[in-house]
Amino acid sequence: MNSAPRKTFKNPRAQHDFRSRTGSIVAVGSYVPARVLTNADLEKMVETSNEWIITRTGIRERHIARPDETTSDMAAEAARRAMAQARVKPEQIDLILVATVTPDMLFPSTACLVQEKIGARRAAAFDIEAACSGFIYGLEVGQQFIMSQSCDTVLVIGAEKLSSIVDWTDRNTCVLFGDGAGAAILQNRPGSHGLLTVHLGADGSKGSVLCVPSGGSRNPASAKTVAAREHFIRMDGKETFRNAVQAMHAAAIEVLRRCELDISQIQCVIPHQANRRIIDAVGERLGVRPDQLFVNLDRIGNTSAASVAIALDEAVAQGRIRQGDLVLLTVFGGGFTWGAAVIEW
Ligand code: UT7
C-alpha cells in the first residue's frame, strides 16, 4: 500500500506556551475635532433647551468634524498620538483594527485607509462593527492575535463621524452624539497582566431599536430612502436606556467575578459615555464610589465606538490611571451589543 510521503513541517506556535502571552495596552491616544457644538447652538437648530439636555443626558457640548474631515482622518490622528507615546514606528504594526459605524465608505475598510495614512505598510487591516461596543470588541480581537502569536503589535482604534448620520432635525437624537477617535497599541509586555479578561455579548433580536435603516443591501440608497430620512440614526431611547443599564451592569459583574475582584478594588471605572443617568444607574448598582468613576460625557457627548477609547486616553493623561491600577470598562450599543473588560494597567 502506497502512502503519501510525509511532509515535515515546523509549527511556529509549538515552541512557545502561548498562554503566557497577553495583550497589554502600552499606549493610548485620542483626537476630537476643533469645532465645539454647544447646547445653546442646538437650541437654535431644534425645539430643545440647555436645561433639558443637561438634566436628561448630562451633555453640555460635543465636537463636530469639518465637512472634509473623515472618520479615517480622525482615526489616523489618534493612532499617531498613541504611536508617539509608545515610540512605535508604523512598520512595527502588524494589524490595524478600526471599530466604527461611520466608515468613510462601504469599502475599502476604514482600517485600510488608516493603514495608508499612517504608513503602516506591513499591517493587515480590517474593520469591526459592534456599534458603541466596538472598541472593547476590538481590544479582545487584538488580544487574541497577540496570544496566538500571529501579531506582536496591534493598533486598535474606535473612531466615529456620527455627525454624518445624525438627523439634525430630530431632537430625540441630535443632541446626543459627537465625533472623535481613540486608539490603543497592544503588545505582549512580559511581566504584565494587561487585559485580564473581556466579556462580550449581543442580542440581534433588538437590532431595530437602534439602527440606520437604509444604505445597505436590504434598502440600497434611493431617492425614496433619502426622502424618508432613512440614512440617519433611528433610536427608541427608552428601550435602549433600559437595556443599556441592565447589560452594562451584568457585563461588569461577569468580568469582576472572573477575576475574583470586588468593585472596591478597581481604581478607575469607565462606562460607555451615552447618558449621565445610565452611567449613574450602572454605578449605583455596582456600588462605584464617585472617585472611581471617569466621565467626560459633558464635553464629548456620545461618540459610539470612540467613547471609552477617548475616555481611557483622557483618564491616563489626567493621571486618573497609573501603572499597576485596575481599570473596568463596560459598554453597550446598537445590535444590541455589550461588553466589559478588566485591565491591569
Ligand atoms: O450609544 C448607544 C446607547 N444610546 C443610549 O444609551 C441612549 C439611551 N437613551 C437615552 O439616553 C434617553 O432615552 C434619551 C436621552 C434619548 C431620552 O430621554 P428620556 O428621559 O427617555 O426622554 P423621552 O424619550 O421619554 O422623552 C421625554 C420627553 C418627550 O416629550 P413628551 O412626549 O413627553 O411630550 C420628548 O419628546 O422629552 C421630549 N424630548 C425633548 N425635549 C427637549 C426628547 N428629546 C428632547 C430634546 N429637547 N432634545
> pLDDT tens digits, residue range 89-116?
999 999 999 999 999 999 999 999 999 9
| Residue 275, helix vs strand vs coil | coil
Pocket of ligand 1 contains residue 150 by CB under 6 Å: no
- List the single range of 18-22, 83-87, 189-193, 301-305 with lowest mean pLDDT: 18-22
Pocket of ligand 1 contains residue 277 by CB under 6 Å: no
Phi-psi region for residue 314, left (φ > 0), alpha (ψ -120 to 50) or beta? Answer: alpha
- Angle at which helix 276-286 crosses helix 237-258, to 10 degrees, equals 30
pLDDT bucket at 190, cuts 50 / 70 / 90: confident
Task: Give the cell for residue 60.
Answer: 453640555
What per-residue confidence (pLDDT) applies to 7? 65
Residue 164 CA to residue 291 CA, distance in Å, equals 35
Nearest to 155 by CA among 141, 166, 172: 141
Q: Please tell me the total count of domains within the chain.
A: 1
pLDDT tens sequence across 233-281? 999 999 999 999 999 999 999 999 999 999 999 999 999 999 999 999 9
Residue 131 CA to residue 210 CA, distance in Å, equals 10
Residue 194 CA to residue 290 CA, distance in Å, equals 25
Q: CA separation (Å) from 99 to 26, 183, 309?
A: 19, 10, 10
The distance from CA 97 to its chain's CA centroid, rounded to whole angstroms, is 11
The answer to whether residue 272 is catalytic is yes
pLDDT bucket at 12, cuts 50 / 70 / 90: low
Rounded to an integer, the average pLDDT of 125-143 is 98
Q: CA separation (Å) from 293 to 42, 139, 196, 323?
A: 28, 21, 20, 17
Of 112, 132, 151, 174, the catalytic one is 132
Q: Among the atoms of ligand 1, which is closest to the Cα of residue 302?
A: 1
Of 151, 268, 272, 296, the catalytic one is 272
CATH number for the domain spanning 141: value is 3.40.47.10
Q: Which residue from 102, 160, 206, 241 has its CB within 8 A of the most atoms of ligand 1, so it is best to mutate?
A: 241
pLDDT bucket at 30, cuts 50 / 70 / 90: very high
Read off the pTM.
0.95
Q: Is the pLDDT of residue 227 over 70?
A: yes
End-to-end CA distance of the chain: 59
Q: Is the pLDDT of residue 5 over 80?
A: no
Q: How many CA atoms lie within 13 A of 281 on its CB side?
A: 18
The answer to whether residue 268 is catalytic is no
pLDDT tens sequence across 135-177? 999 999 999 999 998 999 999 999 999 999 999 999 999 999 9
Residue 238's H or E segment, with its range, is helix 237-258
Tell me which residue range forms the domain holding 103. Answer: 1-345
What per-residue confidence (pLDDT) applies to 20? 72
The answer to whether residue 188 is catalytic is no
What per-residue confidence (pLDDT) applies to 187? 96
What per-residue confidence (pLDDT) applies to 17? 60
pLDDT averaged over every residue in the chain? 95
Nearest to 104 by CA among 115, 94, 95: 115
